[in-house]
Amino acid sequence: MEIARNPKPATRNPQPVTLNFTGSSMKPSLKPGDGLRVHPYGDRKIRIGDVVVVCPPEREQHVVHRVVSVDSHGIRTRGDNNNNTDAWVLCAEDIIGRVVCVNRKNRSKTIYGGLLGRVYASGLKAIKQIDLTVSRILHPVYHRFASSGIFRNLLPQQLKTHILCFKRANGIEMQLLMGRWVIGRQLTGRDRWHIQRPFRLFVDEASLPK
């Protein structure tokens, strides 16, 4: 969600810039480690559906979220992975530019804005709602299996989990890996691990460092 970079001065930069993305508020559109190609708006209109880099009021770090409304009161944004619209109301001067593509593992991915961006975000919201509904139904069974430890005992040695630590601007982020895959994270300032389904079946969460 946040990008470690000096705020305000970059806002008036007329040239495209490349920034590194961190956080989870824009998943799955953006992932930690993505290199973002950001184009300034210039005289172009800021559209609902655009993914933008902004300097929110009273924040020291840039934020990357999607535009959800543009009207006479200002510009509102929300992360694709968030349920609530951001508290701040922005003006055009707070927008550094629009994310047009990301570089991920030596591949370039286009980030669509405007109408296509709105359709994409709506689709993500619908999928998330379906996922939540299914999760509520299966939640008790899933956690019963996770607590039993049955699946942990079946895991081959080469897939045993291990932890990597990364120094961030505001603390230490820990990542839980199974082989080469990142299956969980404890973000800076958080006291709980976020472990992707179904990998909780293979993890003894109580043994993870806090």
pLDDT in tens, 114-163: 999 999 988 988 887 887 787 778 778 877 777 777 877 777 877 888 89
- How is residue 180 written in tokens? 């080469």
Among the four given CATH numbers 3.40.50.720, 2.10.109.10, 3.30.470.20, 2.170.120.12, the one describing domain 2-120: 2.10.109.10
Task: Indicate the SS3 state at residue 52.
Answer: strand
Q: CA distances (Å), 54 to each of 30, 95, 162, in order?
A: 15, 5, 35
Please say whether the beta carbons of 80 and 124 come within 8 A. Answer: yes
Please say whether the beta carbons of 62 and 96 come within 8 A. Answer: yes
- How is residue 154 written in tokens? 């079946």
Q: CA distances (Å), 191 to each of 15, 21, 182, in order?
A: 39, 22, 18
Please say whether the beta carbons of 79 and 27 come within 8 A. Answer: no
Task: Indicate the SS3 state at residue 10.
Answer: helix
Residues of the chain within CATH 2.10.109.10 domain(s) are 2-120
* Measured torsion, CA atoms of residues 75, 76, 80, 81, in degrees rounded to the nearest 10: 150
Cβ-Cβ contacts under 8 Å for 42 (sequence gap 6 or more):
14
Query: What is the full per-residue pLDDT of the chain (210 aa) written as tens digits?
Result: 455 344 343 444 578 889 999 888 998 899 888 999 999 998 899 999 999 999 998 777 899 999 999 999 999 999 999 989 999 999 999 999 999 999 988 899 999 999 999 999 889 888 878 877 877 787 788 777 777 778 777 778 778 888 999 888 788 899 999 888 899 999 888 888 988 888 888 888 888 887
